Amino acid sequence: MRCLIPALLCCGLVACSESEAGEPDAREDLEILSDSIEGSIAALADDSDVDGPIPDAGEDVEVDVEEEDIDDAEAQDDSDEFEFRPMSCVHSLEERRPRITKSSQDRTKRVLRHVGKRLGAGTGFKKLLALVALRESSYQAGLVHRLSPDLNASYVSWRKMSTRYENNPYAEDPTVWQTYGLFGMNSNYFTLIWDKEADPRVLCDPIVDILLYRRAALRALRKMNSGAIRCKDSNGESFDITLDPTWYNVHRAVSGGKICPSKHEERAASMRKYFVRRATRSGLDPDGRVTTKMLGKEPDDGLDGEAWDDQERMVMGLWEEIDVEEAEEAEAAAAREARRAERRAAK
């Protein structure tokens, strides 16, 4: 396994050529890694008093089926036939990201709109999701983030967090625990909020990303509203702070991974300046107060009324709704074109 590390570091040097110009990287992950778990996204992942993952309905019962038992097998609950098929990453760790296309960006925007609507999220949260998706991935879903800060932070995070994934079949492979997806999420932290035994590449699915961003935002918001937050200074001394539940503070807690004050204030001030500029330009007040209601709530059934018993069925159900929406729009567009063709032929 150690032989993989030089490859990762080499890949990080190559990936530097892909960085955005004119704006500092918006990650404070490297700072988190040297901090106590208090005040970090890892601490948020441990909260259990929020409407996080929908509880599993229970383990499926294995049944031995002989040829004469076909009728009994057909009568089994359809949960045995369910297959969770999240969107895969669009490239590997060794490959450059694919060229961005308008069609892929449009589909990502459709996913953001549909899931935001199904969450019942407020306008501010929808704007925040779009803002982060544009900044981190240019609306390109399924990315493996290969910039040097991402690769380095992912590896150091894996060394710090791998023991928390004791039963995860991928726990010993640092190459799998990368930064993924629409919002550039470090899988070492965010997989905890999904499923400790999941393949961390599930974060390449944009619907999973939106759900996880909301869960992390809700945890951060509840910590901010709970009163004093315990932090540590550069000398390891504890102190308490209180934070206003603003869009900037929520964004910093989720995307930046920090609730406590930064040990690098100059960098933190620069990050705030760039976020304020982007947020203001998109119509989001960075100092606007955030409420739980603004973040919406995860749906527990489909538009057809079918119940979703767990988070995996929710993701696949939302994808089905998006597919139906696209098919209906394509059918309507074809019908309009047919009518136009008929009018042209009639002239």
pLDDT the model gives residue 279: 96
Q: Averaged over 312-327, what is the pLDDT?
A: 97
Give the CA distances from residue 306 to residues 208, 309, 314, 315, 318, in Å, rounded to whole numbers and listed in that order: 20, 9, 10, 13, 12
Report the alpha-carbon angle 88-91-92, nearest 5: 100
Can you give the pTM of this predicted structure? Answer: 0.80
In this predicted structure, which of 27-31, 81-85, 254-258, 297-301 has the lowest mean pLDDT? Answer: 27-31
pLDDT the model gives residue 258: 79
Q: Averaged over 34-45, what is the pLDDT?
A: 49
Per-residue model confidence as pLDDT tens digits over 116-147: 999 999 999 999 999 999 999 999 999 999 99
Per-residue model confidence as pLDDT tens digits over 172-199: 999 999 999 999 999 999 999 999 999 9
Among 335, 306, 342, which Cα is nearest to 78's? 306
How would residue 168 be classed by pLDDT, with cut points 50, 70 and 90? very high
Read out DSSP for 121-149?
--HHHHHHHHHHHHHHHTT-TTPBP-SHH
- Considering Cα of 107, then 112, then 113, then 119, what sign does the dihedral take? positive
